[in-house]
Amino acid sequence: MAVISLTPRRIETLSTTRSQEDFIDKKFKAGSFGVRVYQSGKKKFFIRYKTKKGRDRWLTLGNALVVPLGDARKEALCVLADVHRGHDPADEKRCRGYRMTVGELADEFLSQYVAASLTAGTLYEYRGVINKHIRPKLGSLPLRALESRDIEALLYQLGT
């Protein structure tokens, strides 16, 4: 774990030969905020904090190649403010995933990943596939109830 001054340019040039490596932002005085760099080239902002009960937590804040550094720092401060008020944002995020439906996950995928990193044409194609094939069959299904057989049945119906 290296402590460095994070800048947008520095984030672009960070790399690692390990499977993953953390770089802590020395400009962020409120806690441990930084970038986790993966050998594959992926980079994610994170915040590390302790809960009121003393448990160590890590929370991913977003793709460091898409989310501006200033926005990630602001989000980290909001997370720390929630922690100070007694919340555990990492646990709440995990629980939100249990309540999320396949359709909601598809929306999040389209807005956070496809729209942020692919062309408008690709977004249009992905949205069409999701709305035509996935949403009608699985869209209202809670993620916690999704099983491999549901996906296998959808693939079978699509003829793949």
pTM over 0.75: no
| CB within 8 Å of 153: residues ≥ 6 apart | none
pLDDT at 72: 93
Write out pLDDT tens, residues 18-43.
999 999 999 898 879 999 999 999 99
End-to-end CA distance of the chain: 44
Write out pLDDT tens, residues 90-129.
887 776 666 789 999 999 888 888 877 788 899 899 999 9
Write out pLDDT tens, residues 44-94.
999 999 988 888 999 999 899 888 999 999 999 999 998 989 888 888 777
Q: How far is it, in rounded angstroms, from Cα 30 to Cα 48?
A: 10
